[in-house]
Structure 1
Amino acid sequence: MCTDEKVINFKRPRQQAALEDLDQYINIAEGRMSRKVFWERDIYEQELEKIFSRAWLFLGHTSQIPKAGDYVTTSMGEDDVLVVRQKDGAVKAFLNTCPHRGNRLCFSEVGTARGFICNYHGWSFGIDGALRGMHESAAYEASGFDKSKHGLHEVAQVDSYKGLIFGTLDPTAPSLKEYLGDFAWYLDTLLDMDGEGTEFIGGCVKSVMKCNWKFGAENFVGDIMHAGWTHDSAAQAMLGGSVGELGKAPDSYHVNVNGHGWEFNLDKVGNTATFGDKEVRKYIHEIQPKVAERLGHTRSMMIGSVSSATIFPNMSFLPGQNTFRVWQPRGPGEIELHTWTLVNKSAPDDIKERYRRGTMITFSPSGVFEMDDGENFEYSTRTNRGRVTREQDLFLGLGMGSKIDHPEFPGNVFQGQINEANQRAYYQRWLDFMKAESWDDLPQR
């Protein structure tokens, strides 16, 4: 690390009396949850401390920063972060703030630099985060200033999994490998189809929604049921037919590991078909045999299937449509949504462009599906602020008793996509983090 600042103390006592009995907010056994988790400021502030300051969070893709000095800016909760490729090929991340007066250091979203200079007082930092110099440096030297003690605050741990870069602000957090656990088996369906890797194309689309960050994450972790109703008219426009049977395939599942969840069936191309692009469907059919050789037949049938997934707490994606997004919290009632398109590096350029256009048509601010979701997320958040309304519980009980043993699938497996098993697992993990005083208190689920 390039700083002598003290690390964050994750064992601070809870600050709010309202959180003394968190079990009142989530009752997994009865399939009930409190609306307060979507609105109350006290809860949100604890989420920033207990979840976003501890969990492994998505920072970017290796394709965004291929060379030394390449960087992207993002956030971890509400902490602005600068992610930089180092001269030795490693990736480091720093709080994107000058340690002099706290000004934002780097304002660009992406770029290449030999260093970073603060606009305010001219403090200059290397790509390794070390303080190199300052405007009027003689004045500092006369004050006995030690540059080595005032570098950028480094994100405690940074690691990657097959192209996806994650970081955690907690030096005591387990490794990324442990954090993902058996969920990595499913991630390979998206990230390791042919051994050639993946990449982001077309830049990042950013938008703002007036909703709680958890609505997007829990929707993608397991809610196929809304698609046959909320998205039916949009899907008919794209496909020329109803999607009312979505989620009813006999080979359909919810799977979850430590709050990460993936709902899917084995139809191979259902998600891809929603682009309304025959060439992309053709591409999925062509690569499926190669994927089967690498990952086995079952996972090869998941590559473009009707499915959605979330890595706890706030990174989601749609296999087949290849939209990749992070629900960045900006208060209990607002998010900044960051969206990318993920493709196989080996895919023909024409197919990559078709995926990019497909993302814009379906899941962008003006996309036919995202406009539907955004309205639902916003009104679900807004309505819950009612003083009497927020005292009424919400239902979370679909699919109770649907857990099964499966000969291939790791993790917790549940029969059927029309289910809320993954949502329950997601909020159980939310509860685990909110109650835990340290990583030792977090159970494996």
Structure 2
Amino acid sequence: MDQIIRDNTEKHEFLVHRSVFSDKEILARERAEIFNKCWLFIGHETEIPELGDYKRKKVGGRNLLFVHSQDGEIRALYNTCPHRGALVCRENEGNSRVFRCFYHAWSFKNDGELVGMPGKDGFPEDFNDEGTKNMKAVNRIENYRGFMFVNFDENAISLDEYLGNAKEYIDLVVDQSENGLEALGGVQEYSVRANWKLLAENSVDLYHGMPTHKTYFDIKQAQDPNLKRVKLEGKGIELDNGHGVIEYVAPWGRPVAQWTPIWDEKFKADMEEMKVKLADRFGEERADRIANYNRNIVIFPNLVINDIMAVTARTFYPTSPGYMEVSGYSLAPKGENEKHRLARNNNFLEFLGPGGFATPDDNEALELCQEAYNNNQEVEWNDISKGMVRGEGNALATDEVQMRNFWRQYNTRIQESLEKEAALK
């Protein structure tokens, strides 16, 4: 296979070779060229609000500690002891000034500094003068409006440059609240027997919405027979550096400022008041986008921010070509009214949660794709051409321009490494 994609603008055809979903060598290259070099979401700053707060994270195949150190800095420490390599912290979350390794009881401050070793007389006095026995930190950790990212590549561009014009859409999410967003407790973790890139595609694929999630839309239509916007009208947008978004009219209630018929009159009045406040802050046009439009955002390679009937962040990482581990977070405005928070959480669980209407459907669809890739030798290519005939800038939300943008960035990173390798032979 000498091509990953075939991008034929004259023929309006975009094809992806199916080996990228099943080939172990491709996965190894992805880890080297994508997960080792791109900005990866580690968590939201509000997950660790107090000094000493920490959470264990798996990011880009690494075991990390996401910690709010005593000096006020938020760090990502590699969760491995410099002595013999054991995990230093075994608890998933907590608050501590010191981390103590279970194996030989080496102790570290929550900024990673080694502060205690049993049998210290067995080591030279200058044993850690250069700090080489401290817990190592990820050098590149940056924040955009509460969303924290790490990068394992010392030469990577800044997070601000990497996000590029995707920041506009993250801003639309964060600006729902005057006080910013906070992460709600309880990360949802699950696995899917499918390639990670299928979830990246699916998360910004509105084309599958009506057929795959028909049961959900039938229920919504029954609740409100006059629902006009079930057509999911909107646009698909390609963004910088492989990011993409679909932005479309919301056919359901959004606890930011759009009510649904089954909510009571007081709740509906709250929604209208909220919309007035948004207009006062941002003007009518931006307030309308914030309140009445959904956004599914993919930040290359593996962060999805869903701003739909609730706000979620989802990351995923491959453990093999046909298996990924997924982590889902729910976000909400700081200080949100308790009744609004309950509606938001119900919305989240109803559609996006692992037991909701959408996620099991999506997972089944992805696993069916993965199962059928054993036919790759005879049926080699996936088609992601929908909307190419409309021309640049005219994509509907149900088109696939945002996915093509993901694949072009993917192709650049993987194909360049293949060409460099070939040149050295």
TM over 0.5: yes
1:146 maps to which of 128, 143, 160: 128
Say if 2:259 and 2:271, in contact at 8 Å, map to a contact too: no
1:380 corresponding residue in structure 2:
369
Say if 1:105 and 1:116, in contact at 8 Å, map to a contact too: yes
CA distance in 1 between counterparts of 2:44 and 2:185 reads: 13
Is the partner of 1:141 in helix, strand or coil? coil
Change (3 A) 1:436 1:277: farther
2:119 corresponding residue in structure 1:
136
1:344 maps to which of 317, 322, 333: 333
1:432 maps to which of 409, 412, 420: 412
Change (3 A) 1:116 1:305: same
Is the partner of 1:63 in helix, strand or coil? helix
Any idea what the Cα deviations from partners look like across 1:297-319, whole Å, max 9, x if unmatched?
Answer: 34433335343121111111221
CA distance in 2 between counterparts of 1:217 and 1:239 reads: 28
CA distance in 1 between counterparts of 2:105 and 2:248 reads: 55
Say if 1:232 and 1:244, in contact at 8 Å, map to a contact too: no
Is the partner of 1:196 in helix, strand or coil? coil
Asked if 1:101 is matched to 2:101, the reply is: no
Change (3 A) 1:88 1:28: farther
Say if 2:230 and 2:251, in contact at 8 Å, map to a contact too: no
Name the aligned partner's letter for residue 305 of structure 1: Y
What's the CA shift for 1:202?
3.1
CA distance in 1 between counterparts of 2:248 and 2:411 reads: 28
1:288 maps to which of 275, 292, 298: 275
Change (3 A) 1:80 1:301: same
CA distance in 2 between counterparts of 1:244 and 1:260 reads: 30
1:11 corresponding residue in structure 2:
none
Say if 2:259 and 2:268, in contact at 8 Å, map to a contact too: no
What's the CA shift for 1:218?
1.4
Name the aligned partner's letter for residue 206 of structure 2: I
Is the partner of 2:374 in helix, strand or coil? coil
2:401 maps to which of 421, 425, 429: 421
What 5-or-longer segments of structure 2 have no aligned partner? Answer: 418-425
2:215 corresponding residue in structure 1:
233
What 5-or-longer segments of structure 1 have no aligned partner? Answer: 1-17, 405-412, 438-445
Name the aligned partner's letter for residue 161 of structure 1: Y
Say if 1:259 and 1:312, in contact at 8 Å, map to a contact too: yes
Change (3 A) 1:248 1:92: closer
What's the CA shift for 1:352?
1.3
Say if 1:228 and 1:244, in contact at 8 Å, map to a contact too: no
2:288 corresponding residue in structure 1:
301
Is the partner of 1:149 in helix, strand or coil? coil
What's the CA shift for 1:192?
1.8
CA distance in 1 between counterparts of 2:105 and 2:45 reads: 30
Name the aligned partner's letter for residue 355 of structure 1: R
Change (3 A) 1:265 1:334: same
2:344 corresponding residue in structure 1:
355
Deviates most, 50-59 or 230-239: 230-239
CA distance in 1 between counterparts of 2:207 and 2:228 reads: 9
Asked if 1:319 is matched to 2:301, the reply is: no
CA distance in 1 between counterparts of 2:348 and 2:331 reads: 10
Say if 1:248 and 1:417, in contact at 8 Å, map to a contact too: yes
Say if 1:193 and 1:294, in contact at 8 Å, map to a contact too: no
1:224 corresponding residue in structure 2:
206
Say if 2:196 and 2:324, in contact at 8 Å, map to a contact too: yes
CA distance in 2 between counterparts of 1:308 and 1:271 reads: 14
Change (3 A) 1:187 1:91: same
What's the CA shift for 1:245?
6.7
1:329 corresponding residue in structure 2:
318
TM-score for the superposition, normalised by structure 2: 0.87
1:212 maps to which of 195, 209, 219: 195
1:80 corresponding residue in structure 2:
63
Name the aligned partner's letter for residue 25 of structure 1: I
Change (3 A) 1:248 1:267: closer
Change (3 A) 1:283 1:368: farther
What's the CA shift for 1:387?
5.3
What's the CA shift for 1:238?
4.5
1:69 corresponding residue in structure 2:
52
Is the partner of 2:138 in helix, strand or coil? coil
Residues 161-172 of structure 1 correspond to what in structure 2 (within 5 A)?
161-172=144-155
Deviates most, 290-299 or 49-58: 290-299
- Percent sequence identity over matched residues? 28
Say if 1:58 and 1:165, in contact at 8 Å, map to a contact too: yes
TM-score for the superposition, normalised by structure 1: 0.83
CA distance in 1 between counterparts of 2:232 and 2:35 reads: 35
Change (3 A) 1:271 1:157: same
Residues 236-247 of structure 1 correspond to what in structure 2 (within 5 A)?
236-240=218-222, 246-247=230-231
Change (3 A) 1:288 1:375: same
What's the CA shift for 1:118?
1.4
CA distance in 2 between counterparts of 1:269 and 1:133 reads: 56
Any idea what the Cα deviations from partners look like across 1:321-350, whole Å, max 9, x if unmatched?
Answer: 212211132222111111121111142122
2:4 corresponding residue in structure 1:
25
2:181 maps to which of 194, 198, 207: 198
Is the partner of 1:120 in helix, strand or coil? coil
CA distance in 1 between counterparts of 2:307 and 2:172 reads: 8
Change (3 A) 1:149 1:238: same
Any idea what the Cα deviations from partners look like across 1:17-52, whole Å, max 9, x if unmatched?
Answer: x7xx4xx01123331001111111111111111111
1:5 corresponding residue in structure 2:
none
1:52 corresponding residue in structure 2:
35
Is the partner of 1:397 in helix, strand or coil? coil
What's the CA shift for 1:271?
6.3
Change (3 A) 1:255 1:414: farther
2:386 maps to which of 395, 398, 419: 398
Across the two proteins, how many residue pairs are aligned to each other?
Answer: 404
What's the CA shift for 1:267?
4.7
Name the aligned partner's letter for residue 381 of structure 1: Q
Say if 1:327 and 1:337, in contact at 8 Å, map to a contact too: yes
